[in-house]
Structure 1
Amino acid sequence: MKDIKRFITPLFALIGIQLLWVVVVVFWIAWFMKSHSRLRAVAETYSPELLQGGTDWFILVEGILLLCAILAGVYVIFLYWRRQAELYRAQRNFIAQVTHELKSPLASLQLHLETIRRRRLSPEKLSTFLDTMLGDTDRLDTLINNLLSAQRLDQKGIKLNLVRDNLSERVTDYFRPRQFSLPKAGTMHLDIEPDLYADLDSEALETIFRNLLENAILYASGSPVVEVALKSQGRKAHLTFTDHGKGVPRNEQKKVFRMFYRVKHPGETIRGSGLGLFIVQALTRMHRGKVWLTSEGVGKGASIHLLLPLRKPPTGEDA
């Protein structure tokens, strides 16, 4: 019974419907050709004028078009089902992944707190424990914020407060303090063109930066190496966020912005929720911008590109 259920899938159902459709079309044409002479005899007896317009052949074409419309409808339903099935599988994997992402820092916090309660630690050891615990709370805070942001974005519940601001300063202010605090002694290089202005929502922009940086750290091969560049490109500001990590296969580079989608690398389990780049894309579009990913392939790193409309610096009266 299980083997039978395994073969009864919408894909096989679609193939079966297509074969049935071919049989029906062949039967329809055969029946029409067989009955054509009788139809003409009926038309000559009751309505000879119909023969002048080729109405009999119109009936054949009309029937075939109707069958084509039915097949097209079935195909559309199949495409919709396949998309829903992919989303369902992604959501199911997402729930499992998020459960793990929540349990890991909570377990770490519990372990460190119990150790602090049961043992008298040296100031150096206590400081190390506190740093680890703060890192775990930051990890939880990021995950919860991403969950809330994704839910609000999916339901179009976020409205940005766009204000003319210095994009160059915002990029520098966010990444400069983190430049020398990457895990595993990672490095970050900044190349920022000064005084580029855009209409920005500071909170949303920080969310974009946070997710880009976290994504680069998650998919780093060993010590993270990150390059952040901001340049003017005509009437646009072009922000490029490059890592030298695991890379993205060409056939997956457009999929990474889907909700819950995570790039899988054989033999590796990479933590994450699959929401980061979805949030980045949604918030960038709300800034009237564009985002895309480029990568030469697996093991060759990846670059996230953001294009935002440039604006003139505010005048003294605007400021």
Structure 2
Amino acid sequence: MNNNRMMRWMKAKLTLSFVFSLMVFIIFLITVVITGVLFFLANFFGLLDENLTQGGIVLPIIVLIACIIIGTFISGFASRRMVKSVREFIEAIRRLAGGDFSTRLYLKNPPEYRILSENFNRMAEELGGIEILRTDFVNNFSHEFKTPIVSIKGFAEILKYDDLSKEERDEYLDIVIEESARLAALASNVLELSKIETQTILTDKQKVNVGEQIRQCVLLLTHKMEQKQLSLDPELHDYFASGNKELLNQVWLNLLDNAIKFTPENGTISIEMKRTAEALQILFRDNGKGIDPEAVPRIFDKFYQADTSHSTKGNGLGLTIVQRIVNLHGGTIVCESERGPAAGTTFIVTLPSET
């Protein structure tokens, strides 16, 4: 065990500069030894002229030329192994630049090469993830835009028929209006998400009464709750947070609207506020059927909808916007959920507290 520990310690100490210095020394040493052995053998077998060995200039020149030739040969041979790692790195970069995000490097020594491999592999993994997200975004965006457009086009063509009853015509017009509103909401959400994704500094910060904001959001969405005959169990307080009032308002509206969508009729939505010396927590909880455990980590992805049947209205951007706004405020948001009847879902927003 001590030997293994010693080997690991020695590998850790073999830095790139030390390895290069060691290689130069070894090449020099081997060159001198080989040159000395060759001249010893040549002298032993009488291959050297006595005049050369006694001369003051010719012999050193011969020795120098021999050292250069032998040193060059040994350096060329030794550099092949050293350059091999560099070539592997160049080839990996070439493949990565070509779009092969599965490319990985496994250089072990010296430590600088190992660190280089780890960072390269992490970069390749991140780029691969970004590419997957980009592809998903394009596919989902196209689908979300195409569906209402196809629906509007289809019902607009039907409305051209003269034999439609007034009830049918009104029904189809309502569908066209509803799908148009869905397109408008999607466009607004995409623009809002684009704006906050490029925003790195929170502007228009002020002291915001979070409890009062949530009360106003409840009033705005009262009609939706009444349509499903939902009960509200609020535990609100006049707690304050520092932030952008309009952006924070979007967070509460989105989370409450999300809870209304996924709470069954006659269900209950609870809102709870907690405060510590450093943080303010706001919990939105519904008693819907919950989310599959494998879907929870993706719940904040763009256009991702845990309800694959698309039976609930939405475009999968609301929670993405919420997470980005919360992050801009230096806070966090987590989702806790289990799949099952009345299992429910809880979103917990944590913000820096403001007294």
- What TM-score do you get using the length of structure 2 for normalisation? 0.56
Deviations, residues 37-86 of structure 1 (Å, cap 9, x unaligned): x87x96xx9xxxxxxxxxxxxxxxxx998434323322321222122112
Given the superposition, is the C-alpha separation of residues 65 and 185 from structure 1 closer, same or farther in structure 2, using an over 3 Å criterion? closer
How many residue pairs align between the two structures? 255
- Residue 229, structure 1, aligned to residue 271, structure 2: yes
CA distance in 2, matches of 1:153, 1:98: 18
- Residue 92, structure 1, aligned to residue 92, structure 2: no
CA distance in 2, matches of 1:105, 1:241: 30
Given the superposition, is the C-alpha separation of residues 132 and 189 from structure 1 closer, same or farther in structure 2, using an over 3 Å criterion? farther
Deviations, residues 66-120 of structure 1 (Å, cap 9, x unaligned): 4343233223212221221122122212211111111222233334444555456
Given the superposition, is the C-alpha separation of residues 81 and 71 from structure 1 closer, same or farther in structure 2, using an over 3 Å criterion? same
8 Å Cα contact 2:291-2:338 kept in structure 1: yes
- Residue 284, structure 1, aligned to residue 352, structure 2: no
Q: CA deviation at 1:254?
A: 4.5
The within-5 A match list for 1:24-63 is none
Number of the residue aligned with 1:13: none
- Residue 189, structure 1, aligned to residue 229, structure 2: no
- Residue 247, structure 1, aligned to residue 275, structure 2: no
User: Residue 71 of structure 1: which of 106, 114, 119 is its match?
Assistant: 114
Deviations, residues 225-280 of structure 1 (Å, cap 9, x unaligned): 5624132322443221223233141x6644544x4373667x75678655433321
8 Å Cα contact 1:221-1:246 kept in structure 2: no
CA distance in 2, matches of 1:261, 1:102: 11
CA distance in 1, matches of 2:302, 2:168: 38
- Unpaired runs of 5+ in structure 1? 1-27, 46-62, 313-319
Q: Aligned residues: percent identity?
A: 19
CA distance in 2, matches of 1:185, 1:198: 32
Deviations, residues 130-162 of structure 1 (Å, cap 9, x unaligned): 554443333223322222233233322674322
Number of the residue aligned with 1:83: 126
Q: Whose Rg is larger?
A: 2
CA distance in 2, matches of 1:275, 1:69: 42
Higher relative contact order (CA 8 A, sep 6+): 1
Given the superposition, is the C-alpha separation of residues 224 and 140 from structure 1 closer, same or farther in structure 2, using an over 3 Å criterion? farther
- Residue 152, structure 1, aligned to residue 227, structure 2: no
Deviations, residues 197-236 of structure 1 (Å, cap 9, x unaligned): 3334333123323433454467x38659562413232244
Given the superposition, is the C-alpha separation of residues 264 and 304 from structure 1 closer, same or farther in structure 2, using an over 3 Å criterion? closer
- Unpaired runs of 5+ in structure 2? 1-18, 37-81, 83-106
Q: CA deviation at 1:188?
A: 5.1
CA distance in 2, matches of 1:240, 1:199: 18
8 Å Cα contact 2:331-2:350 kept in structure 1: yes
- RMSD of the TM alignment (CA)? 4.1
CA distance in 1, matches of 2:275, 2:165: 55
- What TM-score do you get using the length of structure 1 for normalisation? 0.62
2:150 maps to amino acid: A
